[in-house]
Amino acid sequence: MSYTIPIGPYHPALEEPIHARLVTDGERITDAEVFVGYNHRGIEKLCQERNFIQTITLVERVCGICSHSHAWTYCRCIEHIAGMEVSKRAQYIRDIISELERIHSHLLWLGVACHIVGHDSLFMQIWADREDTMDTLELLTGNRVNYAMNIVGGVRRDITPALSAQLLGCMDTLEEKMKPIRDFLVGDKTIAMRTKGVGVLTNADAIKMGAEGPHARASGVAMDVRKDSPYSSYEDFDFKLCTYPTGDVYARVVVRVLEIFESISIIRQALANLPDGPLNLGNRIPKVPAGEFVARHEAPRGHLVYKVVTAGGPNNKRVSIHVPTFRNAPTVPTMLRGNTVADAGLIVASIDPCFSCMDC
């Protein structure tokens, strides 16, 4: 017998509004639709009423998980329009925060995934390690969530030799804690039964629909802005582009686990080779001429794009924010078809969505 089953607008595992409509034949999903747009906050419009410094604070709150990504990408647009040259030291510090943010985001998602499949003990362990990562971010920036490290022209705070040693110690501890978690997630029979062959997005579909980030790389799409179009000194670091061919929820778990270890490696390289130089170009309000620029960034969830247009005045003329969930959400109906209703919550969550990001 055919049924139409609504999920949402409150997702069973995410504190964000999304509505999915499932058409089922018994327990099997035969078709699905996904509806978004429940949480519009008018951030792009507000940017037109803010000066360049105020806008950093505003866009940093587009997403609490990848706040550094948003503030940094916006700053890069203004710096390019104004012809500012950011020092290598500031670039390296931005890179370090970005990779810590990636670790934090991936640990959050892995914990949520374990919770959805009913493995709450592992969920608590992963989130305990996430707390350690947030403590590390607080050690570096002074804040656990919205880090307030970016200013136009660089960063606010430096990394002293003593702080560098502390950060390296944090990375050593995290790596040792992650090794048994990695082995368990990759090898546990229960995790495999709930994730292998579930929510498959083929390589062809991922390319056709424009999937982004770990979600695309889990379908074998070798795409990463840090590799394809290096920015902010990422060309200085040696790291692997993590992909997996199967395109199911299991592949998304594997890719995010592997990326955590690559992020640890990048942080170690950056700390070991931290260049000398100034942190920023001063705290004065920048004089930005008329112009426009598009900046691309590999955020934890994928390809983040900012387009900023200025008119020569103190405020933005236009700020356009394009987030990875906007590209990944259309893949959800394809992944749902052929699966059971019991797996629907896990499949929707497997793209690591941020629906609030979409409603800027």
Instruction: Give domain 44-358's CATH number out of 1.20.200.10, 3.40.462.20, 1.10.645.10, 3.40.190.10.
Output: 1.10.645.10
Angle, helices 120-141 vs 161-187, to 10°: value is 160
Residues 113 and 253 sit within 8 Å (Cβ to Cβ): yes
Three-state SS for 114? helix
Which residues 6+ apart lie within 8 Å of 50 measured at CB?
58, 315, 316
CA distances from residue 33 to 23, 146, 221, 330 in whole angstroms, order as listed: 9, 34, 24, 9
Q: How many residues can be counted in the chain? A: 360
Residues 3 and 27 sit within 8 Å (Cβ to Cβ): no
Residues 140 and 100 sit within 8 Å (Cβ to Cβ): yes
Helices vs. strands in the chain: H and E counts, helices first? 15, 8
In the prediction, which pLDDT does 78 show?
96
In the prediction, which pLDDT does 17 show?
80
Question: Which string of b and e fits 250-266 if b means at least 16 CB within 10 Å?
Answer: bbbbbbbbbbbbbbbbb
Q: Measured between alpha carbons, how far is 294 from 73 in angstroms, rounded to an integer? A: 9
Domain range list for the chain: 44-358
In the prediction, which pLDDT does 16 show?
72
Strand partners, 28: 25, 340
Running along the chain, 360 residues long, what does each successive block of 10 average in pLDDT? Answer: 80 70 92 85 93 95 93 97 95 98 96 91 94 95 93 95 96 96 91 94 96 97 96 96 97 97 98 95 82 97 97 95 93 94 91 84
What ranges in the chain are assigned the alpha helix state H? 43-47, 52-59, 67-82, 88-116, 120-141, 161-187, 189-195, 203-209, 213-217, 225-228, 249-272, 324-328, 332-336, 344-349, 355-358
